[in-house]
A = this chain, B = another copy of it.
């Protein structure tokens, strides 16, 4: 498990396990990676890179390592030339699928309402008692 994840789990044990989820799933490309692996089953490093909007190899590597360290994905290295590395969801990673779906749904809803709300300026947020 990543140090960051561990810190959050142990320091916040009280009220806010939601922060744990965000710590694990929040990170550039991570929701996309998990969703793609859920859809495709198994993907190679290069395939993931192309399916996402071409993140730097450095960045993609780091996200994948973090997801691996946090136990969400499984990395399989085939020692051959040229090298071949496959990624797939772990059981834990697969268990996040419904949550990812909800995140997407609410995100879509939010983006929609905010695009409209840009027009109507409501400034009734001050009351005089």
Contacts and interface: CB of A to CB of B under 8 A. Distances in A.
Interface of A: 1, 5-6, 9, 13-22, 24-26, 28, 31-32, 35, 52-53, 68, 70-71, 74-80, 84, 92, 95-96, 98-100, 102-111, 113-115, 117-118, 125-129
A103 B9 contact: no
Copies in the complex: 2
A2 to B, nearest CB: 10
Nearest to A16: B32
Given A16-B31, A26-B26, A32-B16, A110 B21 contact: yes
A107 B18 contact: yes
B31 A71 contact: no
